[in-house]
Structure 1
């Protein structure tokens, strides 16, 4: 009887050891998957915050070419994106061409909220305008085309599609 109980205990201990070993092996990948989900949620939250902050500036910001004046809310397109992303702790350089080299490339088919969109509005093929993708084919940008500067435009319009150069993800 004593031997039988000892044998059952040994078998149970061995099974427990196998289970613990298996969970220890799978734990790092489970942690990695959890971290990836949390990072995605964090990026999505930051993107929403970026878009909400940019939208709150409609009617308050004036467009001025070559100007970066946060105290008066005078910006060109890239100083506007620089200002908006800084509100979420993301540092961008000033200049649409410089910003087009930051972050990672994103194809048009993989755009997410908060991605930067780069256009050529003067010299064909040369980046000289930037906006922030909002989802659903819309983007927000600071431009000369509106009274106050900040406006929401349709990225899918033929005008922007033919001028689009690249997109970058910085969140």
Structure 2
């Protein structure tokens, strides 16, 4: 003697849906992963401070000088890097980069005082501009502007 259990079609559909929901709820989905473009991230963090004031010797958002700004950004961006305090020492760090090969986050160096001596640093944005601290505060500067073009010393990549 055989017993067969007949369920209405609607009940079968309901059981199937519940089983699918249970599988989705209790199974592990693959974890998403993304790699950080540290140079891009450094550039974007630097741009957030546009408008912050200049302060001679400044190293905080209350007031920056050029090298204090670069140091602060690298320490507080995803890179979490400690770089030297002065632009001259920062220029001795990393790998030299040709201007035609600049990438976001590279440091660009200028001589704004004694001729030939590195005295200013900015963070390259990837579009012929850098974010840096001038006497009027943090701003985005065009590298092709006459003042900056004439004072360009070189660039360094410190992000590996």
2:62 to 48, 51, 73: 73
TM-score, scaled relative to structure 1: 0.68
State the aligned residue count.
123
CA distance in 2, matches of 1:104, 1:166: 11
5+ long unaligned stretches in structure 2: 1-34
What is the alpha-carbon distance in structure 1 between the residues aligned to residue 43 and residue 86 of structure 2?
20
The superposition leaves residues 93-145 of structure 1 with CA deviations (integer Å, 9 ceiling, x where unpaired) of 1000000001111111111111100001111111000001101211110110x
1:47 partnered with 2:70: no
| CA RMSD after TM alignment | 1.3
**Which aligned pairs between 1:25-40 and structure 2 lie closer than 5 A?**
none
Q: 5+ residue gaps in structure 1?
A: 1-40
Deviation of 1:156 (Å): 1.4
CA distance in structure 2 between the partners assigned to 1:57 and 1:46 by the alignment: 17
Using the alignment, how far apart are the partners of 1:157 and 1:74 within structure 2? Answer: 25
Give the structure with the larger helix fraction. Answer: 1
Larger gyration radius, structure 1 or structure 2: 2
